[in-house]
């Protein structure tokens, strides 16, 4: 049962103060003429174990894949796919997937798709299933050329894990190796996660905003993330989940841009845009 909006607003203000996050997430006001007052509230990340490890086994980095369908194989340790994450209070606050805990797969700049496939060896004699390999077929075809796969585990409410070994990325070729320049994955970039069309988003709940960062840290005077909701801009200066309040029913455009000292970072994966629907 969902607690009222007013109670959540008070509870998260208190939580923000506890974790040193009382500073507003945005330094910019909604654009003039905005019909709805949209508020962004930082929230503490859900607790996670430092023993979770995700590795992509297939395809290998720089591998040439002969044709579709593309098969992906990965191993994850310390994270049970399909579990409901009900032990976390957040599971009662925002939209939850009926797939339970999953691995989110981002191919190039596409929206993620979620995987909770049965493990290759789903059970052993002891019933221990926390260290398993998974293999699945990509749900769409890829054109010839260079492609990048990014993968990370996520709770049933969509929040990504952000530990040192929970994000995996691989670049490969479909067909022959061509002259396409590979993305420099040692430079700063971001990975959009939520909100997405994978969740049944409701007007009566806050909407989870979640993303991943690679090779940089956010601060007020260095790297930050420019958030645009239906064109109205905010600036996020800390890497953590956020709740979006005030989205009315219907379609909304959510855009993230990685910015360094006011200038958008150049290169691949520095921006992402998604269209979501509030019911």
Per-residue model confidence (pLDDT) at position 179? 80
- pLDDT confidence of residue 46: 97
pLDDT of residue 15: 39
Q: Decide: 106 and 191 in contact? Cβ < 8 Å.
A: yes
Asked if 17 contacts 44 with a C-beta cutoff of 8 angstroms, the reply is no
Task: Give the model's pLDDT for residue 131.
Answer: 63
Give the pLDDT of residue 7: 32
Amino acid 267: pLDDT: 85
Q: Where in the chain is the domain with CATH 2.60.40.10?
A: 5-44+193-278, 53-174
- Predicted TM-score (pTM) of this structure: 0.85
State the architecture of 5-44+193-278 in CATH terms: Sandwich (2.60)
User: How much is the pLDDT for 180?
Assistant: 81
User: Locate tokens 């909770």: which residue?
Assistant: 116
Distances (CA, A) of 263 to 40, 187, 222, 240, 260: 22, 15, 10, 22, 5
Decide: 224 and 242 in contact? Cβ < 8 Å. no
pLDDT along the chain (279 residues), means of 10: 36 39 42 65 96 96 95 94 95 97 97 90 51 90 96 98 97 89 94 97 97 97 97 97 97 98 93 98
**53-174 maps to which CATH number?**
2.60.40.10
Contacts of 235 (CB under 8 A, 6+ apart): 26, 27, 28, 224, 225, 226, 227, 259
CA 74 to chain centre: 18
Structure tokens at 80: 């049970």
**276 CB neighbour count, 10 Å cutoff:** 20
Longest dimension (CA), the chain: 63
Nearest to 227 by CA among 33, 28, 2: 28
């Amino acid at each position: 049962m969902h607690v009222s909006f007013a109670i959540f607003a008070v509870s998260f203000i208190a939580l923000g103060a506890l974790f040193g996050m009382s500073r507003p997430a945005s330094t910019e006001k909604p654009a003039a003429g905005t019909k709805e007052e949209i508020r962004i509230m930082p929230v503490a990340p859900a607790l996670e174990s430092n023993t979770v490890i995700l590795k992509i086994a297939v395809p290998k980095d720089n591998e040439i894949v002969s044709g579709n369908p593309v098969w992906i194989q990965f191993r994850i340790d310390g994270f049970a796919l399909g579990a409901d994450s009900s032990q976390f209070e957040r599971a009662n606050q925002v939209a939850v997937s009926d797939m339970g805990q999953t691995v989110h797969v981002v191919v190039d700049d596409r929206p993620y798709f979620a995987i909770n496939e049965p493990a290759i060896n789903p059970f052993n004699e002891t019933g221990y299933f926390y260290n398993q390999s998974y293999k699945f077929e990509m749900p769409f075809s890829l054109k010839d050329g260079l492609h990048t796969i990014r993968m990370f585990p996520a709770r049933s409410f969509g929040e990504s894990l952000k530990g040192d070994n929970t994000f995996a990325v691989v670049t490969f070729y479909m067909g022959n190796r061509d002259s396409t320049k590979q993305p420099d994955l040692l430079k700063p970039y971001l990975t959009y996660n939520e909100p997405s069309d994978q969740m049944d988003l409701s007007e009566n709940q806050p909407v989870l905003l979640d993303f991943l960062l690679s090779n940089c840290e956010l601060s007020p005077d260095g790297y930050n993330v420019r958030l645009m909701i239906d064109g109205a801009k905010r600036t996020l200066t800390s890497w953590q989940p956020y709740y979006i309040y005030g989205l009315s029913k219907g379609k909304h455009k959510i855009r993230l841009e990685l910015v360094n000292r006011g200038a958008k970072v150049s290169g691949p994966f520095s921006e992402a845009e998604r269209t979501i629907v509030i019911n």
